[in-house]
Structure 1
């Protein structure tokens, strides 16, 4: 799809969306305004019809009032109404139930004329534009018609029919008041006036005048003259669903129709419903506006077809659609006139960009525009010139890069050789440090064992010293006990001497006792001699033990000093061990770094070789572009890069000498 086609499609889509949105908005707005205006207009029309009917009712009621005044005047002019003593037997019929009963009533006369059975007076009153006139006489069960021009269904006068006492009319008249309003008369509703007839201060009857409530002849002419939106019309339907006034359905009962059900179920505030007419799936939608008319117990309604209502909107939308099509045609003609030069210039720039993409940087474009397209053409030409400069400078840079890559390769090979030699030396130093660390570990272990033995000997000497001290103490206690034994022997000897003296005094009787006393004395002397010998030996043991304790006391500090010196030797060995390990770690790290440097040098050499190859490839790529200048051939490397040679193993290192020097330095 070309750019022009895309632009036209995009703009057409935007315009269609705009016009469609505008049309929908306009349609909704017009429809809302039209419906609102129609609702108000039709509601006003229904109100007007309601007012006409209301005025019609008021006019009839006024007519009844005038008729009552006229009837009263004519009865007065005919003479005085009197009730004679003559009785008449009359069969009265209840107009509500139809029941018949015989009643005895006084004969009424006016002037010289009997009212019963005579209709001259009521017909005379009717001739003065009074529609209905009746003279009632009171009976036990209500008020009896004795003269009337009101007729039954069969066309006969409703003579001898009566209104029962439970009627609102009778209740009002019995109070001596005139009843005015709507009332059922024989077989129809009338707008009425019932005037009490008073005789001797009591209500004896009443005078009736009235007009039929539903005299629609005048209203039919008014309704027939009303037309709304071509096919709309007003009508009246009563509470039973029967059309009272309708253009072509008058008298037909439509109690089951949708429109009537809507009327019956509508709330007091509703004034509008929609339904199909005829009342089936093929019917067209209609809108009815209505209002209930209480005096006639009917609905005043006007209906219009929705198609007639929205016909104005359809005509307006057709005009809008035609205007939109014409606008689109004119717009696309103007758009083509504006876009064609732009599209042509874009095509020229696209061709130039294609040649640049093919490597031709010698292309030029002629710019004759001063708008954004012209700015784009100038920018494209500047880009071409700038690319020429970049390609030329890049060619020179590539040559420099190739030479630098070769030099970098040589330097990398040298660094790699040196790194390998350093790595070999570091490995030998690391091996010597490991042997020295092993010797230091052995020294430290021996010093630790010597320190432990010295410490144990010192502890045993201290324990021996304590035992000697305890021994001296025990011998001292033994000497004290021996002294006590010596004293006991002395006391025993004295007692034996006393016993011998007493035995001598006793003579023959004390001879045996004297022998015992002599033996006890000998034993006391022997115990004393043994105690003295033991005392001498204990004194010598105490002296010897004291001297041994002194020697042990002098030996303990020396052993402690020896143990402390051995501990210092062990601590120094541990420090040497730690230092040797740190040196070994440092040498290993140095060896690792040297190996990394060697690997990096090898990678750098490989990278320099790859860089040289990339420079050659880049030179070939740059050769793709065609410029006004003569450009050199792709770069080639005359000398191949140095190949990697593994380093020669350096001369051996005197590990023994190196180890001795390190140990000396650590000490």
Structure 2
């Protein structure tokens, strides 16, 4: 089903449709741009935020490692002191370290026996001094270890002979489970001429990092965490995860393994993954923490839900959408007023055109504008005026007015239709004038024929009268017969002229038929123009009807003239045959008269058969003369009818 849309609806549909499309694409593009920009800005901020806090933690760890390294470097000259003196110096150093570093829970050192005991010749075995806090006191304990060979973590530490950070672990100095705290150990080797002598280590409590980590919340529902070299959770808001591997926490094990791999490489990295507890997409960012010269890099990470990252962006997008809707409503209002301003005059034009299509040309359009619509109104007003003039001319022509005044009136107009009407009027006037002349000649001929027939009748009557008295006036009968022959011959000539005039009239009617076809063609052209113009071309249709009416009237007159002319020709031809017969009879009469005169007066008395024959011929001629008179009268009547038909057209 096809919908018929008005111009205003089309303007609103196409303009607003295009605007809405552009608005939608623009808002979508801007929203996407805002979202991407906000996301990038937020992730850059998060990366910078976690990197900054990782550097702070790195500074703390490195400070502790520097302390241990300094102690190890101080012990390089161990052989300067005796065993007792060295123990005294160690206690003094450790006491000062404990006082300045409350996070240190224990300080210890380990010496290879082969370097501090000349009697020990084996490459393993060590002497260990342990110092730890017990409230406000510092306690210590000495012991020998690995006397049967190096093993466990110490074997690795001794083999690497480098600074190291041990994986976190729970430890209780009281041996009670409830007193366990999460700790790690920073170790620095004691080297003498690049030779491994022993190590100095510190056991650091990681409990205070828990409080610091919990404070790192740059966004709502975000949190930070600390992970060791092997992926062990060191600090986390959820304490259930502490000292657990990320492999045990992450839902996606491949992401967990990739995370540990990147931590071990000391990389900055990030990714988006479903949160293992929130079950929503979250942005994870990691920053490395390199402690001293240890290869065991730790990492600080942060998790932020993506919807939180885009919260501000979504607010901005909502503002953009609201502003866009307000702007669209304003634009709709403006477009509506513009469409109304454009279509209202067009509606007036359409209504005026509908009136014109019904033949009402009495009113004009009242539209005062300087744009194309104003020009259209002016053109339609001029067209209406032209239609009125053409309609008036067509009505006058259809009423038979073909006068020169009509032609002069049309000469002041222009246009193909006017020119065609001019040509048609000029041709019709010329043809009608010629036909009028021919009809007048026909009337004159008919009257003359009628007179001749009367004279023939009179001659026949006289001949009949003279026949009764043939003996007295035979010579006079001869003169009368000869006079009758003369009249009949004159009648024949008139009848021939009548036939020729009637044939000429018929030829003229053929020209009128040609004019009818041309007029009909003009009417068809006007009808085609009306069809092309649709509703607004019905004015053309009215003019076409008037021209068609003129064509039909011309055709009707032509048919009438043709029929009357054909009847007149038939009558004239019949009269011609009759007159020819009369001539023959009269000639026979003349011969008989000569015979009678030659035979003498006595022949008449004795019942001359020539006299009898003369009487018969005379009677026949009288009857024929009456028929000729009747035909001449009918011919005159038909000529008057033709004259009446032609007089319908006013040519003067």
TM-score, normalised to structure 2, is 0.50
SS at match of 2:310: helix
SS at match of 1:290: strand
Counterpart-to-counterpart distance in 1, 2:168 and 2:231: 23
Structure 2 unaligned spans of 5+: 99-105, 115-119, 133-138, 170-182, 394-417, 434-508, 528-539, 564-652
The structure richer in helix per residue is 2
Alignment of 1:40-51 (within 5 A): 40-51=44-55
Q: Is the 8 A contact 2:167 2:229 kept in 1?
A: no
Distance 1:377 1:261, change over 3 A: farther
For 1:422-465, what per-residue CA distance to the aligned partner results, in whole angstroms no more than 9, with x for missing partners?
Answer: xxxxxxxxxxxxxxxxxxxxxxxxxxxxxxxxxxxxxxxxxxxx
Structure 1 residue aligned with 2:269: 271
SS at match of 1:227: coil
Q: Which range is displaced more, 614-623 or 363-372?
A: 614-623
SS at match of 2:370: coil
Structure 1 residue aligned with 2:396: none
Distance 1:128 1:5, change over 3 A: same
Q: How big is the shift at 1:3?
A: 2.8
Structure 2 residue aligned with 1:142: 123
Structure 1 residue aligned with 2:9: 5
For 1:365-398, what per-residue CA distance to the aligned partner results, in whole angstroms no more than 9, with x for missing partners?
Answer: 1122233322221122123234445664244444
Distance 1:631 1:21, change over 3 A: closer
Q: How big is the shift at 1:336?
A: 4.0
Quote the RMSD (CA, aligned, Å). 4.8
Distance 1:607 1:133, change over 3 A: farther
2:187 aligned with 1:195: no
Alignment of 1:378-457 (within 5 A): 378-388=378-388, 392=393, 393=418, 394-400=420-426
Structure 2 residue aligned with 1:253: 245
Counterpart-to-counterpart distance in 2, 1:207 and 1:237: 29
Structure 2 residue aligned with 1:129: 97
For 1:164-212, what per-residue CA distance to the aligned partner results, in whole angstroms no more than 9, with x for missing partners?
Answer: 399576569xxxxxx65127699886333343689xxx99x94542223
2:282 aligned with 1:286: yes
SS at match of 1:365: coil
Structure 1 residue aligned with 2:150: 164
Counterpart-to-counterpart distance in 2, 1:374 and 1:185: 91
Counterpart-to-counterpart distance in 1, 2:331 and 2:167: 79
TM-score, normalised to structure 1, is 0.49
Q: How big is the shift at 1:270?
A: 6.8
Counterpart-to-counterpart distance in 2, 1:639 and 1:168: 134
Alignment of 1:159-558 (within 5 A): 159-162=143-146, 164=150, 167=155, 170=158, 181-182=163-164, 190-195=185-190, 206=197, 208-212=199-203, 215-248=205-238, 249-255=241-247, 257=250, 258=252, 259-264=255-260, 271-278=269-276, 283-293=279-289, 295-388=295-388, 392=393, 393=418, 394-400=420-426
Q: How big is the shift at 1:275?
A: 0.5
For 1:298-334, what per-residue CA distance to the aligned partner results, in whole angstroms no more than 9, with x for missing partners?
Answer: 4322221110111112211222222223223333334
For 1:265-312, what per-residue CA distance to the aligned partner results, in whole angstroms no more than 9, with x for missing partners?
Answer: 669777221101136xx8211011124445444432222111011111
Q: Is the 8 A contact 2:71 2:200 kept in 1?
A: yes
Equivalent pairs, count: 394
Distance 1:624 1:148, change over 3 A: closer
Counterpart-to-counterpart distance in 2, 1:7 and 1:235: 61
Q: Is the 8 A contact 2:165 2:296 kept in 1?
A: no
Pick the aligned partner of 2:516 from 609, 612, 617. 612
Q: Is the 8 A contact 2:164 2:296 kept in 1?
A: no
For 1:444-491, what per-residue CA distance to the aligned partner results, in whole angstroms no more than 9, with x for missing partners?
Answer: xxxxxxxxxxxxxxxxxxxxxxxxxxxxxxxxxxxxxxxxxxxxxxxx
Counterpart-to-counterpart distance in 2, 1:161 and 1:185: 21
Structure 1 residue aligned with 2:25: 21
Counterpart-to-counterpart distance in 2, 1:405 and 1:610: 11
Pick the aligned partner of 1:110 from 73, 76, 84. 84
Q: How big is the shift at 1:5?
A: 2.9
Alignment of 1:85-104 (within 5 A): none
Q: How big is the shift at 1:221?
A: 3.5
Structure 2 residue aligned with 1:580: none
Counterpart-to-counterpart distance in 2, 1:607 and 1:296: 121
Higher Cα Rg: structure 1 or 2?
1
Structure 1 residue aligned with 2:542: 625
Q: Which range is displaced more, 250-259 or 372-381?
A: 250-259
Distance 1:80 1:51, change over 3 A: closer
Counterpart-to-counterpart distance in 2, 1:12 and 1:30: 25
Counterpart-to-counterpart distance in 2, 1:168 and 1:241: 19
SS at match of 1:367: coil
Counterpart-to-counterpart distance in 2, 1:30 and 1:266: 31
For 1:588-639, what per-residue CA distance to the aligned partner results, in whole angstroms no more than 9, with x for missing partners?
Answer: xxxxxxxxxxxxxxxxx99995763462575697895369x99985441434
Counterpart-to-counterpart distance in 2, 1:613 and 1:50: 105
Q: How big is the shift at 1:18?
A: 2.5
Counterpart-to-counterpart distance in 2, 1:373 and 1:185: 88
Q: How big is the shift at 1:350?
A: 0.3
Counterpart-to-counterpart distance in 1, 2:94 and 2:282: 46
Structure 1 unaligned spans of 5+: 82-108, 173-178, 408-604, 644-667
Q: How big is the shift at 1:349?
A: 0.5
Q: Is the 8 A contact 1:360 1:625 kept in 2?
A: no
Counterpart-to-counterpart distance in 1, 2:233 and 2:428: 111
Q: How big is the shift at 1:63?
A: 0.8
SS at match of 1:159: strand
